Amino acid sequence: MFALQWVGFITLMRKETIRIFRIWSQTLLPSVITTTLYFLIFGGFIGSRIGKVHDHTYIEFIVPGLIMMSVITNSYANVVSSVFGAKFQKNIEELLVSPLSATTILLGYLSGGLLRGLLIGLFVTLISLIFAPMQFHHIGLIISTVFLTSLLFSLAGFINAMFAKKFDDISIVPTFFLTPLTYLGGVFYSIQYLSPFWRHLSFLNPVLYLVNIFRYGFLGISDINVPLAFSSLILLVFVLWTIAWTLLKKGIGIRQ
């Protein structure tokens, strides 16, 4: 039984990996170009005119947020497009008729989101080295946060795809929720510079916590309580996993 599920997982993971590299110009290149532009404009051209933030240069301050932004958008985009594509072409039926468990199928799709998210995170990190020296305050926290964040947004992408009925449905969440939350999540600024109203409002934004944990891992600075935020991240992963697994097990959105 385990052997069957393991072979099935490896097959699905291989399929997702091939997909990412087959359409590399859509999956890998855009984020690398966009983030390089961010580094150039905000770090190089404008950043040099901005004063220090928490005793760090502006580019040093935004690097962790930009890495995190790329990981979030790519993990989400990979799983939502792959699962919805399979639903749209009906080839998700190949998996539904097979003896693979809901856990195996979910892990297979998440592996694609993790691979793309972490690969892009690595590329962006390497590009950032051209613009700013890298500091590591807590390497374990960096690795675990990037992994859990990628997993969290892969799960969110999966849930979105399960409910989506048309292509518009998979662009609504990234356009109207994910992008605003990411941009307003303290990637480019510290919330300490905001007025009390906006500062308090920012605490409702989950991306703020992710960016700040990650930034703490690199620079040792944070606008939030890191242990509390990290525990919440683990809890959120668990909640989204349960939702995604239940949707798949019950066949909501994919079985009649």
Partner 1 sequence: MNAIEICNLKKTYNGTLEALKGINLSVKEGDFFGLLGPNGAGKSTTIGILCSLVNKTSGSVKIAGYDIDTHWTQAKQNLGVVPQEFNFNIFEPCIQILINQAGYYGVRRKTALERAEKLLDQLGLLDKRNTPSMRLSGGLKRRLMIARALVHNPQILILDEPTAGVDISLRRSMWTYLESLNAQGMTIILTTHYLEEAESLCQNIAIIDKGTIIANDTTKVLLQQLSSEVVVLYCEAVPNTLPTLPNVTLTKIDDSTLEAELSQEKGLSVLLQELGTAGILVNRAKNKSSRLEELFIKLVKV
Residues engaged in binding partner 1 (CB under 8 A): 1, 3-5, 7-8, 10-12, 14-15, 18, 22, 86, 89-91, 93-101, 250-251, 255-256
Q: Which is nearer to partner 1, 195 or 256 (CB)?
A: 256
Q: In the complex, what is the shortest distance from the CB of residue 100 to partner 1, in angstroms, rounded to a whole number? A: 6
Instruction: Give the position of tokens 């859990």.
Output: 148
Instruction: Give the position of tokens 């793309």.
Output: 116
| Residue 143, C-beta contacts closer than 8 angstroms, at least 6 positions apart | none
Q: Which is nearer to partner 1, 58 or 245 (CB)?
A: 245
Dist. CA 143–CA 62, nearest whole Å: 18
Q: In the complex, what is the shortest distance from the CB of residue 251 to partner 1, in angstroms, rounded to a whole number? A: 6
Q: In the complex, what is the shortest distance from the CB of residue 91 to partner 1, in angstroms, rounded to a whole number? A: 5
Q: In the complex, what is the shortest distance from the CB of residue 116 to partner 1, in angstroms, rounded to a whole number? A: 17
DSSP 82-113: HHHHHHHTTTHHHHHSSS--HHHHHHHHHHHH
Q: In the complex, what is the shortest distance from the CB of residue 175 to partner 1, in angstroms, rounded to a whole number? A: 25
Q: In the complex, what is the shortest distance from the CB of residue 184 to partner 1, in angstroms, rounded to a whole number? A: 36
Whole-Å CA distances, 84 to 74, 94, 159, 163, 171 = 15, 14, 10, 9, 11
Q: Which is nearer to partner 1, 82 or 149 (CB)?
A: 82
Instruction: Report which of 135, 172, 164 is spatially closest to residue 61, judged by C-alpha positions.
Output: 135
End-to-end CA, the chain: 27
Q: Which is nearer to partner 1, 99 or 140 (CB)?
A: 99
Q: Which is nearer to partner 1, 94 or 225 (CB)?
A: 94
Q: Which is nearer to partner 1, 180 or 251 (CB)?
A: 251
Torsions phi, psi for 53 (to 5 deg): -115, 120
Q: In the complex, what is the shortest distance from the CB of residue 99 to partner 1, in angstroms, rounded to a whole number? A: 4
Q: Which is nearer to partner 1, 57 or 104 (CB)?
A: 104
| Residue 108, C-beta contacts closer than 8 angstroms, at least 6 positions apart | 8, 9, 11, 12, 13, 15, 16, 100
Dist. CA 197–CA 107, nearest whole Å: 40
